[in-house]
């Protein structure tokens, strides 16, 4: 099972480099990407902000039929790779 540590020292350290943490940047990027995609798909604004499609062909990535979602690598493991693939420019210290 792949889980991140959940102790207080880890939580405190998370906020020390908040602006340059690829995981935080990824979360911000995903949120904005979803928001902009909803606007693109529903230009009339009929879509609820929280609308999330389900049962699409991508479902098996996070919810494998023959396994458990906790056995899949967590999103933080691909944060930097996805951001770079999308063309996000990293600050020098974080790259």
For 53-90, what is the HEC assignment?
A: CCCCCCHHHHCCCCCCHHHCCCHHHCHHHHHHHCCCCC
> Which pTM does this prediction carry?
0.74
| pLDDT tens-place string over residues 47-92 | 666 788 999 999 988 888 888 888 889 999 999 999 999 999 999 8
Q: Answer for the pair 63, 70: CB distance below 8 angstroms, yes or no.
A: no
Which two three-digit tokens encode residue 60?
């098996």
Helix (H) or strand (E) segment spanning residue 93: none
Place 43 in a pLDDT band, splitting at 50, 70 and 90: confident
Rg value, the chain, Cα:
16
């Amino acid at each position: 099972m792949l889980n991140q540590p959940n102790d207080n020292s880890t939580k405190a350290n998370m906020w020390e480099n908040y602006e340059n943490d690829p995981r935080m940047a990824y979360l911000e990027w995903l949120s904005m990407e979803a928001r902009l995609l909803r606007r693109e798909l529903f230009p009339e604004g009929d879509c609820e902000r929280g609308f999330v499609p389900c049962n699409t062909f991508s479902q098996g990535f996070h919810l494998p039929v023959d396994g458990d979602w906790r056995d899949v690598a967590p999103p933080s493991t691909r944060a930097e790779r996805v951001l770079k693939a999308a063309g996000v420019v990293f600050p020098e210290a974080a790259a």
